[in-house]
Structure 1
Amino acid sequence: MVKQSRSNLQEHMRTIFFVCCFFITIGTCPPLYGQASLPPDSSLWALQLQDVIVTAQYAPTDSRNAVHDVITIREEVIEQRGATNLEQLLQQEANIRIRQDMVLGSSMSLLGIDGQNVKIMVDGVPVIGRQDGNIDLSQLNLNNIERVEIVEGPMSVSYGTDALGGVINLITKKSQLDRYDLNLTSQVEARGENRYAAAFGARLTDDITLRLNGGYDVFGGFSENDSLRSVLWNPREQWFADAYLGYRLDDKRKLFYTGSFFDEEVQNLGNIRRPQFKPYAFDDFYLTRRINHSLAYEGQVGKNYYLQATTGYNQFRRYKRTLRTNFEENEQLEVPGMQDTARFSGAMLRATFASQYADSPLNFQVGVDLRYDDATGQRIQDSLSSREGFSQIGDYAAFGSLRYQPWEALTAEAGLRYAYNTRYEAPLVPSFHLKYRLNEQWALRGSYSQGFRSPDLKELFFEFIDINHFILGNPNLRAERSDNLQLGLFYEQRGDEWRLKGKIKGFYNDIRDKIELFEYIETDEGIAPAIDTSTLRFAYFNQAVYKTQGINFSLSYSTPRLELSANASTIGYYNPASEDLPELDAFTYAMEYSGSATYRWLKAGLSASLFVRVNDRQVNFFPTTDAEGNTIAGQRIQDGFTMADFTLTKSFWKERIDLTLGARNLLDVRRANIQGAASGGAHSGGTGSAPVSPGRNVFVRMMVDLGW
C-alpha cells in the first residue's frame, strides 16, 4: 500500500513536470498564435473587463498588478456553464471539491481545506447561516452576479475569522449602459427543475441607478427507486429577490444600498409505514429564510487616498416541521416535540482607508472589521448565557498593511491584525506577500500568512438531531490557528485580441486544532472522540494536526473566437496515523484535472462550450484496532469520478435573445463508492457510497435582454 502511494505520487509529479515543460515552451515562444483583426464585440469587451478585481485590494486593481493571486469567474463563463447557483458554478472549478448532503445542502473544500474555513461574501458582506459548518452553495443564486472572485489561502488579516482557507466574493451588477434594462430568463431541465427570473434596471438620473431582480426555482426531486415515497434528491422550492440603489456622488465616489431576500422549502418525505392497515408516513419540511441589507461607500478621498466602508445586517432562520401524514384520513398532523426554529443574525462594519501615492515607494492601508453574531433557538445550549436558548459572540478587529515598492518590478506587502474576541483570546495575525516581475510576461508571487478561526455558535452550542443526523455542539472547543506558504510563477502575454495566461503554484497549509466532526463516546468527564464506534452519533472536536500541500498548474488562451483552459493539481492530505505507524507515508495525494473549450461563430451568433473535471480517488488513513486490540491503519477510500458538461448557445435579434441547449454530467455519474469505513459519515443512512449528482441532465434556457 505504501509503495503504491509513492508510485502514484511519482506518476502525478511526472505529469506535472511534462505539463510545466509545455507551459514554459509555449510561454517563451514568439506570439505566433495571433489572429487577424476583428471588429470589437461583446466577447472582446468581456475579455478586457475581467481584469479589474476588488477582493483584498487597496482599491479596484488590474489583476496583473495585484500582489495576491485572485481568480475571477466572469459573467460570460457563468452563462456558458449554465450555472444558476454557486454550487453548479464551482463544480468545474480547479482546486474546489463539492460534497452533497440531502438535507443540509452542498458544501465545498478549497485546496483540501473544508468550507467552514472559507469565507463566502456578497459584495464583501459575509454570508451567514452555516449548516454542519458550511454554507449551502445551492442557496446562493447567480441571477444578479457580475463575477466571482476567489482568493486561495489565509486572508485572516483582511477578513478575519472564517477566512483561514480563503475567500469567495460574489460581485453583484451595479451598472448598465441603457437608460432602462429588462432581462428575462427561463430554464427548464429534464430532471424536473424549472427556473424563472427577471431583472429590471433603470438609470433614474445620470447619477442614480436602480436595479431589481427576482425569481423562482422549483425542483421536483429525483430517485432511482420509484417504488419508494422517499427520494434521495429531495424536492425543493426557492424564491429570491434583490434590490440595488446606487448614487454616484461624482466620477470617483459612489454610495449604494443592496438588499436581498431568499426563501427555500426542502421536503424530506418518509416511506409509507403499515401499508396494509391505516398507512401513514412521517414527513420533514425544512424552511430556510435569508434577509440581508448592506450600505456601502467607496471612492477617492482627496487626490491620494481611497476609502471603502460597508455596513451590513444579516438574518438567517431555519425552521423544521415534522408532520404525520395519514393517508386514509387525508390529513397531516404536527408531531409534538419535533418542531424546531433556529434564528441567527449578524451585524458588521468594515472600513478601509488606503493611500495611493504614485510618486512614493511606500503606501499603506488601515481598517476596522467589527462583527457581532447571535443565535436563538431551543437547541442552543449556552451555559454562559443569561437567556435560555440564546447565545452571542463578538469579534472586533483593527488591521493594517504597508506596501513597499522600491522599484517598479518589486512589491512587498506586510500586514497585521489585532482582534478582541468575546469568547477566545485572539492572537496577532501577520501576513507577508511579495511580487516580483521578471519581465513584461513573467512574475513571481510568494506569501506567508497566519490564520485564526474561533468556533462559531453552531459548533459550540447547537444540537442538530433528526432521522438523518445526530450532531452535537461542543462548548470546550479551542480556536483554530494556521500557517500557510505559497509560491507561484505566473505568465501573461497579450495581443490586441488574444491573451495567453499560465501559472505554476505550490502551497502548504498547517492547521492546529482544526475543528472536525468525530463519532463520540460518553465518559464520566463528558463526551470524548472515538474511532469507528458505528453509533453514527457525532460531535465537534479539535484535531491536533491537519496539513495539506500540493502544486497547481493552469494555462489558458483566449481570443474573441476561442477560449481554451487546462488545469492540473495534486493535493496531499496529511495522515495523522503516520505519527504512530511509520510504515505509512506522511501524505496521501489526490490528482485533479480540469479543462474547458469554447468556440464562437461570431457572424452566426453561435457558441459551443465543453467543460471536463476529473477527480482522483481520495484516501484517508486513521488509527483503529484489530480483533486483538492492536493499533493498525484503517483507511477510507472514495472512488474518483469525471464530470463533463456541454452547452450550445445561439443569439438572435442583435444579441437580445440567447437560446441555450445544455447537458450536465454527460457521463451520468451518480455516486462515488466508499470503502473501508463506516458508511454514512455524520449522516445515518449511508450505503457505502457518496451521492454526487442526480445523473445526466439536459436543460434549455432562454434569456431575453431588452434595453432602451
Structure 2
Amino acid sequence: MRIVLLNIFLFTTTVIFAQVTQKSDSILPEKLEEVIVTGQINPQSVSKSVVEIKVISRKDIERQAGNTLADVLNTTLNLTITPNTSTGKSGVSLFGLDSQYFKVLIDNIPIINEEGVGNNTDLTLINLDDIERIEIVEGAMGVQYGSNAVSGIINIITKKSSRNDWDITAYVQEETVGSEYEWFDKGRHIQSLKVGHNFSENFYANAVYTRNDFAGFFNDRQGENYDVNDGLRGHEWLPKLQQNTKALLAYKKENFNLFYRFDYLNERIERYNETVDLNENAATATTNPSALDEIYTNNRLYHHVNGTGTIFKKIAYNVSVSYQEQTKDLERYTYRIRSGQQENIEEGEYQSRSAFFSRGTFSNIINTSKVNLQLGYELTNEKGSGSSLAIVIGPESNEVTQKLNNYDFFAASELQLTSRFSLRPGFRASFSNLFEAQYIGSLSAKQTLGDSWELRAILGSANRTPNYNELYTFFVDVNHNVQGNPALKPEKGYSAFLHIKKRSTLANSAIRLKNKLSFNYLGLQDRIELIVVNQSPLAFQYNNIDRFRAVGVFSENEIFYKNFKGQLGASVQGVSKVLDSNTQSNDDFLFNLQLNSNLAYTAPKWNTTFSVFFKHIGKQQQFVEKTNAEGNQEFVQGETEAYSWIDATINKSFFDGAFITTVGARNLFDVTQVNTTAFEGGAHNGPPTQISLGYGRSYFLKLTYNLSL
C-alpha cells in the first residue's frame, strides 16, 4: 500500500512539472539564494553549484528551537537518528550506513570525537548557537573531503561577521522530559549568552556560553537515592550536563580574511547502578545500602585558524590549520545511598584522541570562461589511546598510544563546455603510515534546460579507513577475547546520484514551486565486521568480509504561497547487506519508506510563525544471523516496526524582534519504543526486543532577548 501511495505521489509531482506556468527567474519575488561553500571551487549560489547541496538556514533552526545538531536533523529525509539510552550518545545513519560513513565538519574542518576525526560523531555534542547555516551533501565526497565521506557530509557554517556594532543574545529554554519536569531535578534546562562586537570595520569578535542540563528520564525508575534492590534505581535515560564555550576573532581587509575559532565542550554523564547491595548486618538487624556508580566526563578542545585571500590578484587560497583533542574520563565509586557518601573512588582517563589537521585549496589556477582548476591538500596527524570496548582504569590499564597519519593531495576542475552544460572531474591521492596508497575519483555534471529545469549527475568514490577500535582494541581476560586487527584494509565506497530539479509558478507567480526527483546508488566492498575467529576458547576479531549496496529514489518538494511555506519529501531505499561474503548469506534488497514534511505559516499582524515538522520511518527489514531449533546458525529476515514523529512550534516576536518567544511540543505521537527482531544472535523464534526512540510527548518554552546597537 505504501509503495502505491509513493507512486501516486511521484506521478502527481510529474504532473505538476508538466502543467505549471513557466516564468522567468527575473520576475520571481524570491529571496536571493544563500552562497554555499561546501564542495565548491569558489563560493556560489545553490543553483550554480554542480554538486547538489541541501541547506538548513538559521531561520529553520530557530523555528525548530534546535539546540544540538541532533535536534535539527531528526526530521531530515534519508537520515535516521537513534538515541542510546545506556551511553547517552546518539547514533545516526544516512542511506542505511551509520555515522562511520559520513563526515561532520565545522567550517570545512572535520571535528574530533571518540572514534577519530570527522566520522562517528555524536550529534548531541554539537551546539548550534553560533551557526549561520548547515550544508548537507548526499553521496560520496572522497575527492573533496577524504576518507569516510562515503554516504555524504554535513558541513556546519559558523557566523563570522555582523552588520551591527554590538549583538547580544541571551535565552533560556525549559523543556519537560515526557511528563517529567521540576525546576532543577527533572526536565531539560538550557541557558545561553552570546556577545558579538565590531571593534572596527576590519575586526569582529564574538563569544558564546551555553549550558544544557538534561536531568535524565526516570519513567518508572527512582533515581540516585533509591535504596531498594528491585531494579528500579537510577534512570531509563542517563542524566547529562553539557557546558559549551566558544569564541571567534575575525579580521578582514580587501582581499584578505583571517579568523581564529575556539571551542571547549565539557559533558558529564551520570550512571547510577540499578543493582543495590543491601549490606545487611545480622547482629544489628540493619542495612547500609550501597551501589557501584560511574561518572563519564568528556572534554573536547577545538582550535581552528583560517586564512583566505588571493595571490597574484588571481589565485584564490583557503588554508586552515586545526588542533583538536577529546578525552573521556571515568570515575567509579561506591555510593552509600542513605548518607550520600562516595567511597573507594577510582579515577582514570580510558580514552583519548588528538589530531593536528590542515587543509588548503588553491582555486583559479587556470581560470578562463571555460575552465577553472583547483588544487588542494589535506594533512591529518591523529593520535589515540584507549578503547570504548575495553573500559579499564587503575593499575590493570595497559594502554598503548597509536598514530594514524594521512597525507592527501587532490585536484578538481570545472569545465563549462556550453552555456548550459558543465562537467566537474576530480581526483585524490591519499598516503598513510598504516595503509597502502589510495586513489579515488569523481565526476559530476550539470545540465540546464531552459530557465526552470536542472539536471545533475554525480559519480563519486570514498574509502573508509578503519577506526581506532577496529585496529587496536585489545580486550582479553578470562571472560572476553575481542581484538582489533592492524592488518585491516580500508573499505572501498562509491556512489551515483541523479537529481532532476524544476522551478515553476502558478496563479501569475503567486504560487512558487520547487520540485526535485533523485535516484541513488551506494556500494561498499571489504566492509569491516567483528567475527568469530576461534570457537574454543571463543575469540573475536575485526576482518574485511562484508559487502553493502543501497538503491533508492526520493523526491523533495517545496511550495511558497504568500506567508506559507511547505516542504514534502518521500524516499524509498533498498539495502542489501552481505553479512559474511565467505558464507551462503542472503543478499536480497530490503526496502524502507520514509516521508517527511515541514510546514510554516507566518501571520504578519501578530509577528507569529506556526510550524510543524513531521517524519515517518516505515517498517525496516534486515537479514540477521540467528540460531535455529537445531542449534545451527542461519540468516533470517528481522523487522523493526514503523513509527512517525511530529513536532510543532509557535514563534512570536515582540518589539521588532528584541524579544522572541517560542513554545512547542516534541514527539506529539508519544513515541517511546518500537519492537524489533532485527538483532543478531538469540533463538530463531525468540521474542522481539525493543529500541528506545523517545521519552514521550514533551513541551518546551524558549525566551530570547536580542539587543543590536
Aligned to 1:5: none
* Shift, 1:28, TM fit: 3.5
Indicate whether 1:137 and 2:123 are aligned. Answer: yes
Indicate whether 1:504 and 2:517 are aligned. Answer: yes
Aligned to 1:51: 34
Aligned to 2:415: 404
Q: Determine the C-alpha separation between the residues in 1 that align with 2:476 and 2:403.
A: 22
**1:273-292 paired onto structure 2 within 5 Å:** 273-275=276-278, 277-292=287-302
* Shift, 1:491, TM fit: 1.4
Match of 1:167 among 148, 153, 157: 153
Aligned to 1:111: 95
* Cα 1:358–1:237 shift into 2, 3 Å: same
Aligned to 2:214: 219
Q: Determine the C-alpha separation between the residues in 2 that align with 1:583 and 1:206.
A: 65
Aligned to 1:618: 620
Instruction: Provide Cα deviations, 1:522-575, integer angstroms capped at 9, x if missing partner.
Output: 4579934xxxxxxxxxx6443421111111111012356111000000111104
1:428 counterpart SS class: strand
**1:595-614 paired onto structure 2 within 5 Å:** 595-614=597-616
* Shift, 1:626, TM fit: 2.7
Q: Determine the C-alpha separation between the residues in 1 that align with 2:600 and 2:387.
A: 51
1:68 counterpart SS class: coil
Q: Tell me which amino acid in the other structure corresponds to 1:376.
A: S
Which is worse superposed, 353-362 or 611-620? Answer: 353-362
Q: Say whether the 8 Å CA contact 1:680–1:688 is kept in structure 2.
A: no
Q: Determine the C-alpha separation between the residues in 2 that align with 1:100 and 1:378.
A: 21
Match of 2:51 among 68, 72, 88: 68
2:77 counterpart SS class: coil
* Cα 1:463–1:87 shift into 2, 3 Å: farther
Instruction: Provide Cα deviations, 1:319-359, integer angstroms capped at 9, x if missing partner.
Output: 111111023453212455x7443221011110111118775
Match of 2:167 among 163, 181, 187: 181
Q: Determine the C-alpha separation between the residues in 1 that align with 2:511 and 2:476.
A: 55
**1:657-696 paired onto structure 2 within 5 Å:** 657-675=659-677, 677=679, 688-696=689-697
Aligned to 2:352: 343
Q: Determine the C-alpha separation between the residues in 2 that align with 1:244 and 1:581.
A: 54
Match of 2:143 among 149, 153, 157: 157
* Shift, 1:30, TM fit: 3.8
Instruction: Provide Cα deviations, 1:650-708, integer angstroms capped at 9, x if missing partner.
Output: 11011111101110000110111112645899xxxx98111101111100001111000
**1:383-422 paired onto structure 2 within 5 Å:** 389-422=400-433
Which is worse superposed, 129-138 or 428-437? Answer: 129-138
* Cα 1:626–1:200 shift into 2, 3 Å: same
Q: Determine the C-alpha separation between the residues in 2 that align with 1:240 and 1:457.
A: 26
Q: Determine the C-alpha separation between the residues in 1 that align with 2:424 and 2:387.
A: 47
Q: Tell me which amino acid in the other structure corresponds to 1:375.
A: G
* Shift, 1:49, TM fit: 5.5
* Shift, 1:583, TM fit: 11
Indicate whether 1:196 and 2:198 are aligned. Answer: no
Q: Determine the C-alpha separation between the residues in 1 that align with 2:67 and 2:468.
A: 30
Q: Determine the C-alpha separation between the residues in 2 that align with 1:283 and 1:698.
A: 31
TM-score, scaled relative to structure 2: 0.87
Q: Determine the C-alpha separation between the residues in 1 that align with 2:19 and 2:308.
A: 42
Match of 1:569 among 568, 571, 596: 571
Aligned to 2:252: 248
Q: Determine the C-alpha separation between the residues in 1 that align with 2:358 and 2:218.
A: 45
* Cα 1:669–1:455 shift into 2, 3 Å: same
Match of 2:108 among 108, 124, 143: 124
**1:609-648 paired onto structure 2 within 5 Å:** 609-628=611-630, 632-648=634-650
Q: Determine the C-alpha separation between the residues in 2 that align with 1:655 and 1:471.
A: 57
Q: Say whether the 8 Å CA contact 1:380–1:390 is kept in structure 2.
A: no
**1:368-387 paired onto structure 2 within 5 Å:** 368-377=377-386
Q: Say whether the 8 Å CA contact 2:273–2:291 is kept in structure 1.
A: yes
* Cα 1:659–1:48 shift into 2, 3 Å: same
Which is worse superposed, 556-565 or 119-128? Answer: 556-565
* Shift, 1:233, TM fit: 0.8
Q: Say whether the 8 Å CA contact 1:50–1:72 is kept in structure 2.
A: no
* Cα 1:591–1:30 shift into 2, 3 Å: closer
Q: Tell me which amino acid in the other structure corresponds to 1:248.
A: K
Q: Tell me which amino acid in the other structure corresponds to 1:216.
A: R
* Shift, 1:314, TM fit: 0.5
Q: Say whether the 8 Å CA contact 1:378–1:389 is kept in structure 2.
A: no
Indicate whether 1:309 and 2:301 are aligned. Answer: no
1:627 counterpart SS class: coil
Aligned pair count reads 665
Instruction: Provide Cα deviations, 1:204-247, integer angstroms capped at 9, x if missing partner.
Output: 00011111111111011112213422211111111101111111
* Shift, 1:513, TM fit: 1.7
Q: Tell me which amino acid in the other structure corresponds to 1:229.
A: R
Instruction: Provide Cα deviations, 1:175-194, integer angstroms capped at 9, x if missing partner.
Output: 11211110011100012101
Which is worse superposed, 634-643 or 268-277? Answer: 268-277
Aligned to 1:656: 658
Q: Say whether the 8 Å CA contact 2:271–2:294 is kept in structure 1.
A: yes
1:76 counterpart SS class: helix
Q: Determine the C-alpha separation between the residues in 2 that align with 1:577 and 1:394.
A: 30
Which is worse superposed, 273-282 or 236-245? Answer: 273-282
Indicate whether 1:265 and 2:251 are aligned. Answer: no
Q: Say whether the 8 Å CA contact 2:387–2:473 is kept in structure 1.
A: no
* Cα 1:293–1:691 shift into 2, 3 Å: same
Q: Tell me which amino acid in the other structure corresponds to 2:171.
A: T
Aligned to 1:707: 708
Aligned to 2:79: 96
* Cα 1:110–1:470 shift into 2, 3 Å: farther
TM-score, scaled relative to structure 1: 0.88
Aligned to 1:322: 332
2:699 counterpart SS class: strand
Q: Say whether the 8 Å CA contact 1:322–1:339 is kept in structure 2.
A: no
Q: Say whether the 8 Å CA contact 1:111–1:548 is kept in structure 2.
A: yes
Aligned to 1:24: 14
Which is worse superposed, 584-593 or 130-139? Answer: 130-139
Which is worse superposed, 631-640 or 261-270? Answer: 631-640
* Shift, 1:434, TM fit: 0.8
Q: Say whether the 8 Å CA contact 1:106–1:138 is kept in structure 2.
A: yes
Which is worse superposed, 485-494 or 628-637? Answer: 628-637
* Cα 1:306–1:101 shift into 2, 3 Å: same
Q: Determine the C-alpha separation between the residues in 1 that align with 2:273 and 2:404.
A: 37
* Cα 1:110–1:379 shift into 2, 3 Å: closer
Match of 2:242 among 219, 223, 238: 238
Match of 1:527 among 530, 536, 539: 539
Instruction: Provide Cα deviations, 1:494-513, integer angstroms capped at 9, x if missing partner.
Output: 79887421211111111012
Q: Determine the C-alpha separation between the residues in 2 that align with 1:574 and 1:67.
A: 29
Q: Determine the C-alpha separation between the residues in 2 that align with 1:197 and 1:427.
A: 44
* Cα 1:352–1:703 shift into 2, 3 Å: same
Which is worse superposed, 268-277 or 582-591? Answer: 582-591
Segments of 5+ residues of structure 2 without an aligned counterpart are: 178-186, 223-231, 281-286, 391-397
Aligned to 1:533: none
* Shift, 1:625, TM fit: 4.8
Segments of 5+ residues of structure 1 without an aligned counterpart are: 1-7, 39-43, 382-386, 529-538
Q: Determine the C-alpha separation between the residues in 2 that align with 1:52 and 1:261.
A: 28
* Shift, 1:447, TM fit: 1.6
1:233 counterpart SS class: coil
* Shift, 1:29, TM fit: 3.3
Indicate whether 1:360 and 2:350 are aligned. Answer: no
Indicate whether 1:515 and 2:528 are aligned. Answer: yes
Q: Note the aligned Cα RMSD (angstroms).
A: 3.1
